[in-house]
């Protein structure tokens, strides 16, 4: 695209609490879990359950988890998303690059308002979810439909097998293994999803499989040297299988003493990678006599920023064609 100051790139992530406190976590979860894309139960059933059971119980419990990973600048998801946007801005000097959160702040609507005030006319929106899901990517599209009036908005729906992104993840795994030693097995752990949504056509699991296969191929791994699982289950219904916790228990039972775990569904590190995988699941693996080495997300790595900037530039060129 002919780069012009009237074009902007908006990186959108999920959102995260403003503080590691029960109150802030309740506020964040209340907005998140009222989204019908995320929870589809009818309101009369879901609202009492949410307000009188889930938020009061989960607020303090989850706040304690956030407290363990909190960074000087805030929640890791917020800090790394901000740094990633700054790194992408360096690669696209002619563009306005900003980030927003689907839940909480900076809100998508407020960033789009700022763009309008700055004279932006075209916005490429890149949800920081490599794999499309109705629960995440489509929810960003909903927010854009409400807040995007007067702007020419183009959303990048997926980048699950984008060659530059795949190479960036594969290189980060290779570098981590070179520095810390290679585990006997590489586990790709993706955020889970209710099986019901996959049965209704959510393409998320197929795209997770495509990402894992492409990254494993980039690393030259044979079939038995890697596997895929789904983490972060919420609620009681059946989620995608196999669950990461059970996959790790099975690897431990097989006597696999060192496992490398990587989470290529998460653009940046967050509660689900840093607390659940790198702390909780690693401790559980250690209790079974093994070692789980967590390989961080791409975060604000140069190769990540390059891959996302190239995706944005291509999306804008497609518009011009």
**Contact residues for ligand L6N33NVT (CB under 6 A)?**
14, 16, 29, 38-39, 58, 62, 75, 77, 129, 133, 135-136, 191, 193, 204, 232, 234, 265-266, 270-272
Q: Answer with the entry of Fe ion, ligand L6N33NVT, none that 208 interacts with (C-beta below 5 to 8 A by kind).
A: none
Residue 175 interacting with Fe ion (CB under 5 A): no
Q: Answer with the entry of ligand L6N33NVT, Fe ion, none that 136 interacts with (C-beta below 5 to 8 A by kind).
A: ligand L6N33NVT
Query: Looking at 242-305, which runs of residues are DSSP E strands?
Result: 258-262, 291-295
The full 3-state SS of 144-155, as one line of letters, equals: HHHHCCCCEEEE
- Given the complex with ligand L6N33NVT, which of 129 and 226 has the nearer CB atom? 129
Of residues 5, 23, 41, 47, which one binds Fe ion by CB under 5 A? Answer: 47
Q: Is 191 annotated as a binding residue?
A: yes
- Given the complex with ligand L6N33NVT, which of 1 and 77 has the nearer CB atom? 77
- Given the complex with ligand L6N33NVT, which of 27 and 91 has the nearer CB atom? 27
- Residue 194 is given by DSSP the state B
Q: Answer with the entry of Fe ion, ligand L6N33NVT, none that 101 interacts with (C-beta below 5 to 8 A by kind).
A: none
Q: Answer with the entry of ligand L6N33NVT, Fe ion, none that 271 interacts with (C-beta below 5 to 8 A by kind).
A: ligand L6N33NVT
Q: Answer with the entry of Fe ion, ligand L6N33NVT, none that 75 interacts with (C-beta below 5 to 8 A by kind).
A: ligand L6N33NVT
DSSP three-state, residue 242: coil
Shortest-Cβ-distance residue relative to Fe ion:
47
Q: How many CB atoms lie within 10 A of CB 289?
A: 9
Residue 53 interacting with Fe ion (CB under 5 A): no
Torsion 165-300-271-132 (CA) sign: negative
- Considering only residues 269 through 308, tell me which ones interact with Fe ion, judged by CB under 5 A: none
- Given the complex with ligand L6N33NVT, which of 1 and 69 has the nearer CB atom? 69
Options 42-50, 147-155, 195-203, 247-255: segment touching Fe ion (CB under 5 A)? 42-50
Query: Looking at 192-290, which runs of residues are DSSP E strands?
Result: 226-231, 258-262
Closest CA to 27 of 125, 103, 96: 103
DSSP per residue, 17-75: -SSSSHHHHHHHHHHHHT-TTT--S-HHHHHHHIIIIIHHHHHHHHHHHHHHH-BTTB-
Closest CA to 270 of 129, 131, 78: 78
Angle at 272 between CA 267 and CA 276, to 5 degrees: 140
Closest CA to 53 of 76, 82, 30: 30
> For 91, how many CA atoms within 13 A lie in the half-sphere containing its CB?
20
Q: Is 110 annotated as a binding residue?
A: no
Residue 57 interacting with Fe ion (CB under 5 A): no
DSSP per residue, 87-114: HHHHH-TTSEEEEEESSSSSBHHHHHHH
- Given the complex with ligand L6N33NVT, which of 79 and 248 has the nearer CB atom? 79
Q: Answer with the entry of Fe ion, ligand L6N33NVT, none that 47 interacts with (C-beta below 5 to 8 A by kind).
A: Fe ion
Q: Specify the pairing of strand 7-13 against strand 96-101.
A: parallel
Longest dimension (CA), the chain: 60
Options 41-49, 107-115, 215-223, 304-312: segment touching Fe ion (CB under 5 A)? 41-49
* Residues of this chain that bind Fe ion (CB under 5 A): 47
- The annotated binding site is made up of 191, 272
- The annotated binding site for Fe(2+) is made up of 191, 272
């Amino acid at each position: 695209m002919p780069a012009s100051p009237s074009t902007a790139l908006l990186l959108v992530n999920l959102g995260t609490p403003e503080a590691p406190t029960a109150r802030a976590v309740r506020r964040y979860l209340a907005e998140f879990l009222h989204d019908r894309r995320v929870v589809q139960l009818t309101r009369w059933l879901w609202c009492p359950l949410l307000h009188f059971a889930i938020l009061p119980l989960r607020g303090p419990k989850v706040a304690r988890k956030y407290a363990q990973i909190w960074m000087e600048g805030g929640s890791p998801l917020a800090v790394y998303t901000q740094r990633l946007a700054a790194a992408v801005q360096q690669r696209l000097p002619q563009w306005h690059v900003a980030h927003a959160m689907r839940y909480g702040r900076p809100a998508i609507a407020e960033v789009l308002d700022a763009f309008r005030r700055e004279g932006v006319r075209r916005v490429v929106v890149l949800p920081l979810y490599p794999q499309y899901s109705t629960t995440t990517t489509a929810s960003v599209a909903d927010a854009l439909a409400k807040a995007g009036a007067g702007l020419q908005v183009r959303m990048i729906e997926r980048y699950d097998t984008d060659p530059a992104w795949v190479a960036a993840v594969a290189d980060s795994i290779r570098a981590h293994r070179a520095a810390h030693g290679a585990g006997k097995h590489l586990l790709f752990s993706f955020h889970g999803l209710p099986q019901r949504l996959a049965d209704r056509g959510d393409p998320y699991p197929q795209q997770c499989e495509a990402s894992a296969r492409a990254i494993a191929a980039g690393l030259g791994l044979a079939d038995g040297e890697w596997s895929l699982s789904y983490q972060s289950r919420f609620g009681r219904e059946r989620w995608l299988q196999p669950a990461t916790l059970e996959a790790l228990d099975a690897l431990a039972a097989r006597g696999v003493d060192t496992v490398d775990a990587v989470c290529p569904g998460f653009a940046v590190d967050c509660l689900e990678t840093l607390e659940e995988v790198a702390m909780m699941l690693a401790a559980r693996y250690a209790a079974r006599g093994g070692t789980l080495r967590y390989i961080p997300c791409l975060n604000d790595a140069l190769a990540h920023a390059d891959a996302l900037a190239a995706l944005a530039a291509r999306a804008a060129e497609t518009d011009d064609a």
